């Protein structure tokens, strides 16, 4: 990607110096704190079975509070401390890169919103290490990048990019940019009211139907990432040979089917929440080729 001479965003919030301790702590084992890791290892079905078993034991033994991360409210309050940030030259450049990509999404979505007669509210992107406090609760690096609609911030632990490269075999700067653009896509959904409508609708649906709505929301965010790439390249010529392939490979690598195969050895489409590799690639390409909000209406699409 051609990015080094481009504008840097002032909306990057660096919290890498913060250390959050005591999350889900207390006297017990802190099952709630371990759920993200358990899910990655066992998948949805395996996690559900594990949780039911542990909760049943906790009720029988009278130690449920401790097992879930018990203790008093005061005991369980995570502690935040600050430590000096030690970073390699490579990580320093990565932070610079993130600031450029965020700025580029700002320029893209400001222009698109202006065409719609709307004002784009710039989100903030929080860099952290290991654990972080957000407006949506506490997050961990194991959860991967996420967007919190409550505080309108994207949260990113840079170690995810190592995982994307080494575990998911999707290296490259455009693959990394795609990740940011996808989370900004959720911010766009939040501003347009889509996220709220989906959240409200899911409350009235079965688990299967709610998962299907989640998939449509995530695929639309993939499509919005494609819109960003379309507009950014037409306006600022950021793409180089091989960049699109990097983005498509990243979208494919983190499809629910691929992740489930790695974690549990089989695929359960009913538990998908982000979409299959084929679906994620398709909708990213749709946004990239069409470049319009109308093209990204996954909710009315006949086939995902």
Helix axes 173-192, 207-236, angle to 10 degrees: 120
Q: Where are the domains of the chain?
A: 12-17+81-296, 24-77
∠ at Cα 264 (260, 266), nearest 5°? 65
pLDDT band at 84 (very low <50, low <70, confident <90, very high): low
Residue 129 reports pLDDT greater than 80: yes
Position with higher pLDDT, 267 vs 74: 267
Q: Which residues contact 249 (CB under 8 A, 6 or more apart)?
A: 169, 170, 172, 175
Whole-prediction pTM: 0.79
Q: What pLDDT, on the 0 to 100 scale, is given for residue 176?
A: 93
Q: Which residues contact 168 (CB under 8 A, 6 or more apart)?
A: 250, 253, 254, 258
| 3-class secondary-structure state, position 137 | strand
Please give the average per-residue pLDDT across 144-159, as a whole number: 95
Report pLDDT digits (tens) over 193-220: 999 999 999 999 999 999 999 999 999 9
């Amino acid at each position: 990607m051609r990015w080094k001479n481009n504008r840097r965003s002032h909306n990057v919030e660096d919290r890498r110096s913060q250390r959050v301790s005591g999350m889900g702590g207390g006297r017990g084992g802190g099952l709630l704190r371990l759920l993200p890791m358990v899910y990655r290892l066992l998948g949805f079905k395996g996690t559900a079975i594990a949780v039911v078993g542990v909760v049943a034991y906790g009720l029988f033994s009278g130690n449920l509070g401790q097992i879930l991360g018990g203790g008093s409210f005061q005991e369980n309050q995570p502690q935040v401390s600050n430590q000096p940030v030690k970073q390699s030259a490579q990580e320093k450049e990565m932070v610079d890169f993130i600031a450029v990509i965020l700025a580029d999404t700002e320029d893209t979505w400001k222009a698109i919103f202006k065409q719609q007669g709307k004002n784009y509210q710039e989100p903030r992107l929080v860099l952290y290490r290991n654990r972080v406090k957000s407006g949506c609760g506490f997050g961990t690096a194991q959860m991967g990048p996420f967007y919190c609609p409550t505080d309108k911030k994207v949260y990113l632990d840079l170690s995810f990019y190592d995982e994307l490269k080494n575990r998911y075999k999707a290296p490259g700067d455009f693959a990394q940019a795609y990740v940011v653009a996808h989370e900004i896509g959720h911010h766009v959904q939040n501003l347009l009211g889509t996220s709220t409508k989906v959240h409200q609708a899911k409350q009235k649906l079965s688990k299967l139907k709610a998962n299907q709505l989640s998939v449509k929301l995530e695929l639309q965010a993939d499509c919005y990432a494609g819109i960003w790439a379309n507009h950014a390249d037409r306006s600022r010529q950021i793409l180089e040979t091989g960049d699109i392939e990097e983005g498509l490979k990243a979208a494919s690598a983190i499809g629910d089917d691929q992740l489930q195969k790695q974690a549990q050895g089989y695929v359960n489409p009913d538990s998908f929440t982000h979409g299959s590799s084929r679906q994620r690639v398709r909708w990213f390409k749709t946004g990239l080729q069409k470049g319009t909000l109308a093209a990204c209406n996954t909710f009315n699409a006949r086939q995902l």
